[in-house]
């Protein structure tokens, strides 16, 4: 199966079968997620929180995104790949934004970039698309603006959200994430724009869904948002395995004869 392309992703707008997007940050996880058959693997700047353990995504650098995207790009064979532009590249002038996005395409095998914003970022989206770089937009809660928004809050300004979504679509985005908006507004956006909407905390009526893979696996420490559903308890499994190994080493049970050389 050839790797899914951005135009093929866009063509799935409104399809009965929803689009599936999961994050991954390294080779091992990206291979597993791709083998599961997701449509798109996102190298999210959420890695600032789930990999680096920071309180927000703001500290993540372009070099760090490229480091992770290179590993993910090398692992993924089937899914479309998309890489977040870290703060504040979505606010750079268009030439600087093209330079940054081009580094991602040059230095990783990933195919597209995602940037937070809509109406105010329309010129940047258009410039990237004109440069041949597919762009996924990201409207609703924009975590890179957490300080300006006053926290990770549900976004409810329907007119502003629709304006962002329309502007991103008209600027040439091939799809968009809608984060933390009431289901009815996400449906209105989905009914309005001709490109796929990928929801996270945006209800069931989007064209697809995205979650952070650590959340899906049940390995997130501390606060887990309401929109997350854990499909496994990998965090517990890791801790149990490490605890069992610790006990075996301390008691002399490991290594046994089968792990030793004669
Ligand atoms: O960084 C990320 O993982 C994201 C998704 C949650 C959409 O932007
Ligand atoms: Na992100």
Per-residue confidence of the chain (262 residues) as pLDDT tens digits? 799 999 999 999 999 999 999 999 999 999 999 999 999 999 999 999 999 999 999 999 999 999 999 999 999 999 999 999 999 999 999 999 999 999 999 999 999 999 999 999 999 999 999 999 999 999 999 999 999 999 999 999 999 999 999 999 999 999 999 999 999 999 999 999 999 999 999 999 999 999 999 999 999 988 889 999 999 999 999 999 999 999 999 999 999 999 999 9
> Ligand 2 centroid vs 84 CA: distance in angstroms?
6
The segment(s) of the chain belonging to CATH 3.20.20.60 are 6-231
Atom of ligand 1 nearest to the CA of 198: 7
Q: Whose CA is nearest to atom 3 of ligand 1?
A: 44
Q: DSSP letters of 51-97? A: TT--SSSTT--HHHHHHHHHHHHHH-SSSEEEEEPPTTGGGS-HHHH
How many CA atoms lie within 13 Å of 15's alpha carbon, on the beta-carbon side? 14
Residues with CB under 5 A from ligand 2 (ion): 44-45, 84
Is 210 a pocket residue for ligand 1 (Cβ < 6 Å)? Answer: yes
Q: Which of 143, 196, 215 to mutate to test ligand 1, by most ligand atoms within 8 A of the CB atom?
A: 143
In the three-class reduction of DSSP (H, G, I as helix; E, B as strand; rest coil), residue 141 is classed as coil
Is 144 a pocket residue for ligand 1 (Cβ < 6 Å)? Answer: no
In the three-class reduction of DSSP (H, G, I as helix; E, B as strand; rest coil), residue 206 is classed as coil
Q: What is the model's pLDDT at position 221? A: 82
Q: Which of 33, 46, 155 to mutate to test ligand 1, by most ligand atoms within 8 A of the CB atom?
A: 46
> Does the N-terminal peptide bond of residue 198 adopt cis geometry, omega within 30 degrees of 0?
no
CATH of domain 6-231: 3.20.20.60
Is 75 a pocket residue for ligand 1 (Cβ < 6 Å)? Answer: no
d(CA 60, CA 174): 24
Q: What is the model's pLDDT at position 222? A: 83
Helix %, strand %, coil % of the chain (to 5): 45, 15, 40
The backbone torsions φ and ψ at residue 210, rounded to the nearest 5 degrees and listed phi first, read -135, 145
Q: Which ipTM score applies to this complex?
A: 0.99
d(CA 126, CA 229): 35
Q: What is the model's pLDDT at position 1? A: 76
pTM over 0.95: yes
In the three-class reduction of DSSP (H, G, I as helix; E, B as strand; rest coil), residue 130 is classed as helix
Respond yes or no: is residue 179 known to be catalytic: yes
d(CA 256, CA 218): 32
84 is in an annotated binding site: yes
Burial state string for 84-98 with b = 16 or more CB within 10 A and e = fewer than 16: bbbbebbbeeeeebb
Contact 98, 123 (CB under 8 A): no
């Amino acid at each position: 199966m050839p790797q899914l392309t951005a135009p093929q992703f866009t063509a799935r707008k409104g399809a009965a079968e929803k689009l599936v997007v999961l994050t991954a940050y390294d080779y091992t996880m990206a291979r597993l997620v791709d083998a599961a058959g997701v449509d798109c693997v996102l190298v999210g700047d959420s890695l600032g929180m789930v990999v680096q353990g920071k309180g927000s995504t703001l500290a993540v650098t372009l070099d760090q995104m490229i480091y992770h995207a290179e590993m993910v790009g090398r692992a993924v064979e089937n899914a479309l790949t998309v890489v977040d532009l870290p703060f504040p590249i979505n606010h750079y002038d268009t030439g600087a934004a093209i330079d940054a996005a081009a580094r991602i395409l040059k230095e990783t095998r990933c195919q597209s970039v995602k940037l937070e914003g809509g109406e105010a970022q329309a010129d940047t989206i258009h410039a990237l698309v004109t440069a041949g770089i597919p762009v996924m937009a990201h409207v609703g809660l924009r975590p890179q603006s957490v300080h300006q928004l006053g926290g990770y809050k549900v976004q409810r300004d329907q007119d502003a959200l629709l304006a962002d979504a329309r502007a991103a679509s008209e600027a040439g985005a091939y799809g968009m994430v809608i984060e933390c908006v009431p289901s009815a507004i996400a449906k209105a956006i989905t009914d309005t724009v001709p490109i796929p909407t990928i929801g996270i905390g945006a209800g069931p009526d989007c064209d697809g869904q995205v979650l952070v893979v650590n959340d899906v696996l049940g390995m997130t420490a501390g606060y887990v948002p309401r929109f997350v559903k854990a499909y496994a308890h990998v965090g517990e499994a890791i801790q149990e395995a490490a605890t069992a190994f610790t006990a075996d080493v301390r008691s002399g049970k490991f290594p046994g004869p089968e792990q030793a050389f004669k």
